[in-house]
């Protein structure tokens, strides 16, 4: 603590974390773009390709997060508290991991079709990811961008509430469909797990919004 305070008098404000956090957010946004493409794609081969691209983004995300944590362990001064950088990197990495798991489940389960609700959930994931990307790009200038940052966080929260309703409808209509034999029990199992994974992605996006809100409260 004392060392930190002392050094901060002599050292310039360390800004190398911002580009890294922005890179993570950009990987996140790219993953969600591929995911949206995956859910509108009917060609099996192209689906496989998209899943591989998402997996590649996940590997990239792991690498950037790893670098961030490595840097954190070797840096005295951070633009905002060490734990906040860590939390933000971690939670964005969680989103990327969850998006990857969504894609892998599509690849493994090969559902015969995507109900409209799943496509709506993926749209929300894409929108939420872009809010995160925009927020990440404004973090380095937090004193001036705080109003816009606040708006991004608010929109992420709104998207999560929207997704909650869609999720409930998705599950209910799935079970109704299975009872009416629109879906087989096997198809129900596939789609239920995919829908639950999509909902987890929305929740992780919402957690990211909360971390950014905490940072806003502390530093803006």
Q: Is 80 in the site for a copy of itself (CB under 8 A)?
A: no
Only segment of 21-29, 116-124, 182-190, 208-216 that touches a copy of itself (CB under 8 A): 182-190
Q: Is 47 in the site for a copy of itself (CB under 8 A)?
A: no
Quote the CA–CA distance of 130 and 184 in Å, as a whole number. Answer: 36
Residue 28: closest CA among 126, 118, 105: 126
Radius of gyration of the chain (CA): 19
Q: Which of 190, 191, 194, 204 binds a copy of itself (CB under 8 A)?
A: 190
Q: Which of 116, 172, 182, 218 binds a copy of itself (CB under 8 A)?
A: 172
Structure tokens at 209: 């919004």
Only segment of 4-12, 89-97, 125-133, 173-181 that touches a copy of itself (CB under 8 A): 173-181
Shortest distance in whole angstroms from residue 109 CB to a copy of itself: 6
List the alpha helices (DSSP H) in the chain: 2-10, 17-39, 44-73, 82-109, 116-138, 142-179, 185-219
Residue 161's CB: how many other CB atoms inside 10 A? 10
Q: Which of positions 92-111 make contact with a copy of itself (CB under 8 A)?
A: 108-110
Quote the CA–CA distance of 2 and 132 in Å, as a whole number. Answer: 34
How many residues bind a copy of itself (CB under 8 A)? The answer is: 16
Residue number, 41 or 107, with CB nearest to a copy of itself: 107
Q: Is 219 in the site for a copy of itself (CB under 8 A)?
A: no
- Cβ neighbourhood burial of 122 (10 Å; 0-12, 13-18, 19+): buried
Angle among Cα 145, 150, 154 to the nearest 5 degrees reads: 150
Q: Which of positions 192-211 make contact with a copy of itself (CB under 8 A)?
A: 192
Residue number, 151 or 189, with CB nearest to a copy of itself: 189
Residue 14: closest CA among 71, 73, 78: 78
Shortest distance in whole angstroms from residue 176 CB to a copy of itself: 9
Q: Is 3 in the site for a copy of itself (CB under 8 A)?
A: no
Q: Is 116 in the site for a copy of itself (CB under 8 A)?
A: no
Residues that bind a copy of itself (CB under 8 A): 108-110, 168, 171-172, 175, 178-179, 184-186, 188-190, 192
């Amino acid at each position: 603590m004392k060392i930190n305070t002392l050094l901060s008098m002599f050292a310039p404000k360390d800004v190398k974390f911002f580009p890294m956090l922005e890179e993570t957010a950009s990987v996140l946004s790219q993953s969600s773009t591929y995911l949206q493409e995956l859910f509108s794609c009917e060609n099996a081969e192209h689906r496989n390709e998209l899943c591989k691209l998402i997996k590649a983004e996940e590997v990239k995300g792991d690498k950037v997060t790893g670098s961030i944590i490595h840097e954190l362990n070797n840096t005295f001064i951070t633009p905002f508290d060490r734990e906040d950088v860590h939390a933000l990197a971690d939670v964005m990495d969680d989103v990327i991991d969850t998006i990857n798991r969504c894609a892998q489940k599509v690849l493994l389960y090969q559902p015969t079709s995507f109900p409209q609700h799943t496509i709506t959930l993926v749209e929300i994931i894409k929108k939420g990811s872009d809010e995160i990307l925009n927020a990440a790009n404004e973090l380095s200038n937090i004193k001036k961008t705080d109003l816009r940052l606040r708006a991004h966080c608010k929109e992420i929260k709104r998207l999560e509430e929207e997704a909650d309703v869609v999720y409930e409808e998705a599950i209910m209509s799935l079970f109704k469909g299975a009872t009416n034999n629109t879906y087989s029990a096997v198809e129900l199992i596939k789609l239920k797990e995919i829908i639950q994974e999509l909902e987890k992605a929305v929740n992780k996006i919402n957690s990211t919004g909360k971390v950014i809100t905490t940072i806003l409260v502390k530093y803006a």
